[in-house]
Amino acid sequence: MAQAAGRPIVLLHPGARKAAADAAPGRVDRVARFWHAPAMPGAIHTLRYDSPLGPLGLLADAEALVALELPRTFPAAHRSSTPPRAPSVLRRAARQLDEYFAGRRRDFDLPLRADGTEFQRRVWGALSRIPWGETRSYADVARAIGQPTATRAVGLANGRNPLAILVPCHRVIGSDGSLTGFGGGLALKRWLLAHEGVRVAR
């Protein structure tokens, strides 16, 4: 189902897509509408999440997460406070991150909404399909979206991913096994990959 560039999109991880399909067998149209649900009007709520990596910022509207900000980009003004009544999706995200960092969760099952171009959304969808404990090169992702010559553009879209960790851009590395860039810094990327049991080049 095509969309105009720049319109918001809900990305569901495999577990959530399967649950939605199981809940309404044969209703592919319903699942598709949820997949492409437009942004809901209203405030964006921020929740500070204290992780082993430092404070993360979880941002959500009433329906879905719209961003996960890493310590480098999470505004200092928000680092010391959390809303007294966070939307349920923020509480769910915090619980699932607890499980992820404790090694008890490998896939996230959360409603996610990311605003980007059609190309960026295709890249982010490919990122969401990289399994725990595995990596892909930028060239692999380019081939996965059917544009094998778009390696550089894939790298740019990877860097624009607003939902780090949840949409695992940290699992994309160089063709030679090098870590390459990461918005949160290479030390954080190395930590995440090591946490998932991936050996990376020094």
* Catalytic site positions: 169
Are the beta carbons of 92 and 141 closer than 8 angstroms?
Answer: no
Q: Nearest Cα to 36, choosing from 75, 77, 58, 64?
A: 64
111's tokens:
């409603």
Question: Reduced to 3 states, what is the DSSP secondary structure of residue 173?
Answer: strand
133's tokens:
């404990």
CA distance linking residue 151 with residue 1, whole number of Å: 24
CA distance linking residue 83 with residue 47, whole number of Å: 6
